[in-house]
């Protein structure tokens, strides 16, 4: 029986976005929606978002050990899952995790300054400005105005998730970083090529390289910037398959 792939999507995406990657890997996919997203549980405002997301992922896990994949926010959720249930995770692959607490120095400072534009816009009721600014950093490279209408509507609806996730992804509210030092799961950290990458993401990946005891860090070529698992699933799948081939 083929080992299932539990795949956790990026913010503003949905579980079905992970299907082409699973198909390229020849795996049955389990792809729950994160809270507030399509096919996911409701987002309960006022309750810690990361706790809700991790609960949704754990609820979707089968009894047998799985290979786990996470993209962006989903990658950070996946790290929490691997720490919580290492015995159920044979391997973990994460693409550009939104774990800013693992970054440091000027790269982090510059990113937080850029994201202040997003938070300031939200605080003054300018959701459109906030959404467009966030997309400029983390989208495929397409202009905000050129995105499909339904995707723009989704981003506008969920843009308050950016400040809602900050306690976990910026301030490490749950103390994930020290727990990663003892995580026994083999981890593959994937990132886009350096000439396309935001400096803060390079810093995050370097931070994870120093924290995780069993980690491989690789770069992936392709069009789509931070959204490569969606725009270039074959390229991402090739790296994942090579990683799996070396596992027991």
Q: Please list the residues that pair with 217 across neighbouring strands.
A: 189
Q: Could you tell me the domains of the chain?
A: 5-103+172-245 (3.40.50.1820), 105-164 (no CATH)
Phi/psi for 45 (5° steps) reads: -65, 140
Q: Please list the residues that pair with 191 across neighbouring strands.
A: 219
Residue-level pLDDT at 45: 86
Q: Residue 27: is it exposed, middle or buried by C-beta count within 10 angstroms (0-12/13-18/19+)?
A: buried
Q: Please, are residues 7 and 22 in contact by the beta-carbon 8 Å criterion?
A: yes
Q: Is pTM beyond 0.85 here?
A: yes
Given the structure tokens 């105005």, which residue do they identify? 145
Q: Please, are residues 12 and 155 in contact by the beta-carbon 8 Å criterion?
A: yes
DSSP β-ladder status, 29-30 and 66-71? unpaired
Phi/psi for 181 (5° steps) reads: -60, -25
pLDDT in tens, the chain (248 residues): 578 899 999 999 999 999 999 999 999 999 999 999 988 899 998 899 999 999 999 999 999 999 999 999 999 999 999 999 999 999 999 999 999 999 999 999 999 998 999 999 999 999 999 999 999 989 888 999 999 999 999 999 999 999 999 999 999 999 999 999 999 999 999 999 877 788 999 999 999 999 999 999 999 999 888 999 999 999 999 999 999 999 98
Phi/psi for 47 (5° steps) reads: -105, 145
Q: Give residue 219's Cα distance to chain centre.
A: 16
Q: Please, are residues 218 and 189 in contact by the beta-carbon 8 Å criterion?
A: yes
Q: Please, are residues 190 and 97 in contact by the beta-carbon 8 Å criterion?
A: no
Structure-token pair, residue 33? 């929606």
């Amino acid at each position: 029986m083929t080992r299932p792939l539990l795949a956790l999507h990026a913010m503003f995406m949905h579980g079905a976005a992970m299907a082409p990657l699973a198909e390229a890997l020849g795996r049955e996919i389990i792809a729950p929606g994160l809270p507030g997203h399509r096919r996911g549980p409701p987002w309960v405002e006022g309750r810690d978002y990361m706790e809700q997301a991790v609960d949704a992922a754990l609820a979707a896990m089968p009894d047998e050990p799985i290979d786990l994949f996470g993209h962006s926010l989903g990658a950070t959720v996946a790290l929490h899952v691997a720490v919580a249930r290492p015995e159920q995770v044979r391997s973990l692959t994460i693409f550009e995790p939104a774990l800013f607490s693992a970054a440091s120095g000027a790269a982090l400072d510059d990113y937080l300054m850029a994201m202040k534009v997003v938070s300031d816009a939200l605080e003054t009721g300018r959701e459109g400005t906030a959404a467009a600014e966030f997309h400029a950093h983390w989208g495929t490279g397409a202009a905000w105005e050129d995105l499909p209408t339904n995707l723009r509507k989704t981003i506008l609806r969920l843009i308050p998730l950016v400040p809602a996730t900050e306690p976990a992804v910026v301030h490490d509210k749950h103390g994930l970083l020290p727990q990663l030092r003892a995580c026994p799961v083999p981890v593959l950290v994937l990132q886009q090529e350096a000439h396309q990458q935001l400096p803060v993401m390079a810093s995050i990946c370097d931070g994870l390289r120093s924290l995780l005891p069993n980690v491989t860090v690789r770069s992936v070529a392709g069009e789509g910037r931070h959204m490569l698992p969606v725009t270039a699933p074959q390229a991402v799948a090739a790296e994942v398959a090579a990683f799996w081939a070396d596992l027991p």
